[in-house]
Structure 1
């Protein structure tokens, strides 16, 4: 259980690119990173408006001299300091991730990047190769994946509690882009529907990559064999980017699955659900009730497993925070992700490969997998919503 004791020898000197006053996700990053004394925010290039970024950074408690006008200046200046940053979070629009991540790695910095990591698998693999060459960690902020009940699902599936997996039902939808208004008025929404900045997708990249990664976290042995993606732009000005998509999947073990992702699910406040159906039983998790896991055994009463209880698998206990009498949520999940990445960075710095081998966190391979998910979905949709063999970097070069 997490009780405030140090998990690493000292806090990591941490900087941010983006995540400023007008940013949508910066506070989530800081909430996660600063929770467990594993990071110390000492520098930042928080905003494309240098004056506003400096003012914001000072209000966060960062030295004014270490609030930089851009990431290039920050990396250069910090490299000259004895106490310069050693890890940087990238909380900027998608189209900037590749160049900032590569620059950070070349500056000798560990990286924690927003999803999707980059636009193409080629770019993602280049990042992995550079990170390996430099001996650095790249983590990706799939924030929901820090919910501990997902690890309970993983453990129960590994233990055969639901039998052979037959059906995978995934959903991440909301209604906050049901009209065009947000595209015009909301800066964070505006870039998400611009292909030059967002990349080849809107909701497939912005939403479904979260749920896809969580499904892989829960079922690491399940590999997609082929898929069919049908995507729509119900707000026509967003074309060729989709605001709704359905994906059908066939897995290598014979299981079938589907993903519904949407930003036009009008009236929906929170529609992220994961249901895994096996030959004996089913498991279902909903992020609006993240402390509960529904366990349905054929022919038996429905069970609700509750976070923090003694009957859960020990895999969940390492990141348990508040105990069963108190509710945890997304901020706790983000803190778990940042903590795991900090442990990974500390292990990498010490050459502790044993710790890295057993650590479950969204690493560079998870980032690559997210990019590949988007590419396969887009390839299917843009070829007339046809079935396509699921391509990974390994399958392409096999």
Structure 2
């Protein structure tokens, strides 16, 4: 294995640019080549040693690993191609939008002995990790509100895969019970799929979860509330703070308030983990096979969603 992993990037949009910056700070990695269908994006790359490819297939002979940050609808195509060519892959979320596609890619990666990871930033968010450690899989009620402006979101897929997938990933770790029932309502305002989504999940243990996601907001908001055996946690993931409440003698008592003032750089953590996984052959918590349950819930929500377009709404 090389001392430095040669990395390529497919897609030089917002996230592609972030990965380019983070990789430049990882000593065991070097960005060797990039590809984007929009050649104008090459103009922003100052490092002249990076090969600007005119075709994605050119990267195969230049890199050991690839980061896929192209539009969501192309993730399956590019990941399948590079895994079949023996290239390690780190893909932006969503990795795909169908379970059969995810299982197919996992199978190719395992057969070829390759690392296939997915960018799931909340798994690298220190505050989320700390919250889930406190909940310890004993949650029974879960509320999540995650909204963002449309101008910095990908509109080529539903808000379910664009935004809500993060909270489904957290929810999976908070409430261990099996799902009993799912209902959902989605509304399309500017995209082809849902831009706003409200989901209610009921569990066999009597618990429930309510998730709201929107990419039609003025400002970003990421709020979590989790009731668990030890009490209640309310978190603001944008501000990086949360407080924990416990129940004593029928009263709610605030026992701890914590503000995360430590440096928190999830993308750097994920990119460095990707390189380490290749060099050391270690299993990663960002491995695509850890998203099987998440993808299952996403596909279930899709099937249960009552979907409406703005043009279909009745006016009075």
Shorter-chain TM band: 0.7 to 0.9
Partner of 1:301, secondary structure, is strand
Q: Which has the higher contact order (CA 8 A, sep 6+)?
A: 1
Deviation, structure 1 residue 156: 1.9
Q: Does 1:272 align with 2:222?
A: yes
Query: Which residue is equivalent to 2:288?
Result: 364
Q: Does 1:206 align with 2:192?
A: no
Partners of 1:31 and 1:335 within 8 A in 2:
no
Q: Does 1:226 align with 2:215?
A: no
Q: How does 1:179-190 map to 2 (within 5 A)?
A: none
Residue from 242, 246, 249 that aligns with 1:297: 246
Answer 1 or 2: which has greater strand percent.
Answer: 2
Partners of 1:230 and 1:246 within 8 A in 2:
yes
Partner of 2:225, secondary structure, is strand
Q: Does 1:281 align with 2:231?
A: yes
Partner of 2:254, secondary structure, is coil
Query: Which residue is equivalent to 1:375?
Result: 299
> Structure 2: any 5+ residue segments left out of the alignment?
309-316
Deviation, structure 1 residue 289: 2.1
Residue from 51, 64, 67 that aligns with 2:52: 67
Query: Which residue is equivalent to 2:5?
Result: 12
Deviation, structure 1 residue 297: 1.1
Partners of 1:116 and 1:370 within 8 A in 2:
no
Question: Counterparts of 2:6 and 2:221 in 1: how far apart (Å)?
Answer: 36
Deviations 1:349-377 (A, max 9, x none): xxxxxx52xx5x22212444443333222
Structure 1 residues 344 and 224: CA distance shift in structure 2, 3 A: farther
How does the TM-score come out when normalised to structure 2? Answer: 0.86
Q: Does 1:49 align with 2:56?
A: no
Partners of 1:53 and 1:69 within 8 A in 2:
no
Question: Counterparts of 2:167 and 2:201 in 1: how far apart (Å)?
Answer: 14
- After superposition, the CA RMSD in angstroms is 2.6
How does the TM-score come out when normalised to structure 1? Answer: 0.69
Partner of 1:298, secondary structure, is strand
Residue from 202, 205, 211 that aligns with 1:250: 202
Deviation, structure 1 residue 278: 1.4
Partners of 1:228 and 1:377 within 8 A in 2:
yes
Partners of 1:101 and 1:111 within 8 A in 2:
yes
Partner of 1:25, secondary structure, is helix
Partners of 1:91 and 1:113 within 8 A in 2:
yes
Deviation, structure 1 residue 96: 1.0
Partners of 1:282 and 1:297 within 8 A in 2:
yes
Q: How does 1:148-159 map to 2 (within 5 A)?
A: 148-158=126-136
